[in-house]
Amino acid sequence: MQKVNLAEAFARFQDPWNPRIAGQVNGTAIKLVRLEGAFDWHHHATEDEMFLVVAGRLRMKLRDGDVELDPGEFLIVPAGVEHCPEAIGEGCQVLLVEPETTLNTGTEVTARTKARLERL
């Protein structure tokens, strides 16, 4: 067992849109990711995703309206819902809770897909 200090964990990497695995609970991964600008529209066929804003601000674009999140707030995007995360301002730090096998680009494989995630 090891405790995880989020500030220290985020300080270990700077590249945006490249999630790292910080821990695991049963089959669920705790992932950390830096966001800059907007990502690609995508969905996950069978996985829900939880986005917890640690620092900065996040806009989750959804087809039926956007949701803006401040530090300490989270949003769960249900499986099948098309979404597009976007950092508001300089960028943000997000903790994701989702199955370890969840691809960051959902059902699409693109140049931004990270199939193998680094562990912190």
86 Cβ neighbours under 8 A, 6+ residues apart: 35, 37, 38, 39, 58, 59, 60, 61
Per-residue pLDDT tens digits for 16-57: 999 999 999 998 999 999 999 999 999 999 999 999 999 999
Residue 1 maps to a domain = no
H helical segments located in 1-120 = 6-11
Q: Supply the CATH number for residue 37's domain.
A: 2.60.120.10
- The model carries a pTM of 0.94
Question: 34 φ, ψ to 5°?
Answer: -95, 140
Residue 26 maps to a domain = yes
Residue 73 maps to a domain = yes
Q: What total of structural domains would you count in the chain?
A: 1
Domain of residue 69 covers 6-119
Q: Report yes or no: 55 and 88 within 8 Å, Cβ to Cβ.
A: no
Q: Report yes or no: 59 and 66 within 8 Å, Cβ to Cβ.
A: yes
Per-residue pLDDT tens digits for 45-93: 999 999 999 999 999 999 999 999 999 999 999 999 999 999 999 999 9
